[in-house]
Amino acid sequence: MLSSGAVVALWRQTNDAAPDLVDGDPLMQVVLFGVYAVSLVLLVLRCPGFAGALGRERLLLLFLALVFASIIWSDAPDLTARRASALAATTLLGAYLGLRYSLREQVDLLAIALGLVAVLSLATGLFLPAYGISDEAYDGAWRGVFVHKNQFGRMMALTGVVGWLLVRRRGGARLVGAAMMVLAGALISLAQSRTSLLIYASVVLVAQLARVRTSRWRALLVGGTVALVTAATAFIDGEAIFGALGRDSSLTGRTGLWEMAVEMISQRPLLGYGYAAFWRGWEGASAYVWQIAGWEVPHAHNGYLDLCLSVGVVSTVVLLAGLLVTARRALTARTTDTPEQIWPLVYLAFTLLSNLTESALAAQNSVFWVLYVAAVVTVGRQARAVAA
């Protein structure tokens, strides 16, 4: 819940304690430091051989090495060093989740956390609308227990996908999963986040396809995934689709922002501006984007562009290569037909699609990076077991 950005960030912002763009929130830093310290102790005590397991994930380690190396050329070396360390700590939390718990247990833990977030968001919107509903700038869209409605919509899309997995089980879990799916869909609608709704539907379709194990249908899965990504791209650029969804073809101004991001990437294409060192307001290179855009843009609204700005094309390619390797392993290393076995592949599809319009790739202190690392180490462990 903490790493999802729920509750605490909203409470801090509404009490005039919004985090500084560069220095962050000191309260959250203290809390998360405690979480990471406990995670490290548990990793050492309960996961013997964790160093070897992590050492086998070479692409993940190479990416982290490049993140730390970016301190050398970073526009803000101190900031990059601090946030790279936070990313490493977040990685250890993800490794603990992946090594300590089975896929079923991981889904259960996530269902508890996300289900609680959804219920709290519903209650906040109904009974504390000053907190749970955005101001007139967003036409009264719900934001639940999050700072922004888009963040809320994306988290509810993930909630619905986890609910779909529970529906595939037997017994009472089906009812819980169905309730999560319905509640997630309703809250996404209240958030007025059509992009999140599209991601929700697309990932559920991927999950349905991923259940089939025969090679013929596996080809259909690959083709369906490509089609979904193509459809998402058309959603971004297609005038007709935007019109049908009540949006203009600039996707509420994102495409103009992306053009500026590409322009800035072209100035440092290979290595970027240093991990987490681009978006520093008027102090950093982001000042150019702020000046042209006319508002204080927090990120590029595209995870791939933001990662290129941060650590360059080289590191971005390394991360995406690791993601594709993990997806291939998830397709071939399934040991049972339980719904949990497809969770890593489903989450990777969610990651690919959600980062087309939001920025969450390799973000420190983020639940999305925790779940990505957990998927990498879990699937890697399964693949080695199958090979043996």
* Confidence category of residue 246, pLDDT binned at 50, 70, 90: very low
Lowest-pLDDT range, 1-10, 252-261, 286-295, 379-388?
A: 252-261
Residues 6+ apart with CB under 8 A from 32: 2, 3, 86, 89, 365
The rounded distance, in Å, linking the Cα atoms of 116 and 261 is 36
The rounded distance, in Å, linking the Cα atoms of 309 and 284 is 12
Helix ranges (H only) for 333-366 are 343-354
Residue 26 has pLDDT above 90, yes or no: no
How much is the mean pLDDT over the chain? 85
Q: What does the pLDDT look like over 83-95, one tens digit per residue? A: 999 999 999 999 9
Q: Left if phi > 0, otherwise alpha if psi is -120 to 50, otherwise beta: which for 135?
A: beta
What residues form DSSP beta bridges with 90?
none
* Confidence category of residue 195, pLDDT binned at 50, 70, 90: confident
**Token representation of residue 86:** 């936070």
The rounded distance, in Å, linking the Cα atoms of 250 and 101 is 43
Distance of CA 8 to the CA centre of its chain: 18
Q: pLDDT at position 368, please?
A: 96
SS (H, E, C) 198-222: HHHHHHHHHHHHHCCCCHHHHHHHH
More confident call, 250 vs 228: 228
Residue 237 has pLDDT above 60, yes or no: no
Q: What is the mean pLDDT of residues 329-334?
A: 78
Q: What does the pLDDT look like over 197-219, one tens digit per residue? A: 888 988 888 777 776 655 555 55
Lowest-pLDDT range, 49-53, 107-111, 136-140, 150-154?
A: 136-140
R_g of the chain, CA atoms, integer Å: 20
At position 124, the amino acid (one-letter code) is T
Q: SS3 of 133, please?
A: strand
What residues form DSSP beta bridges with 131?
none
CB of 241 closer than 8 Å to CB of 33: no
Q: What does the pLDDT look like over 117-137, one tens digit per residue? A: 999 999 999 999 988 998 766
List the one residue out of 98, 67, 156, 47 whose CA is nearest residue 330: 98
Lowest-pLDDT range, 226-235, 245-254, 373-382?
A: 245-254
Lowest-pLDDT range, 65-69, 173-177, 352-356?
A: 352-356
Residues 6+ apart with CB under 8 A from 138: 149, 192
* Confidence category of residue 68, pLDDT binned at 50, 70, 90: very high
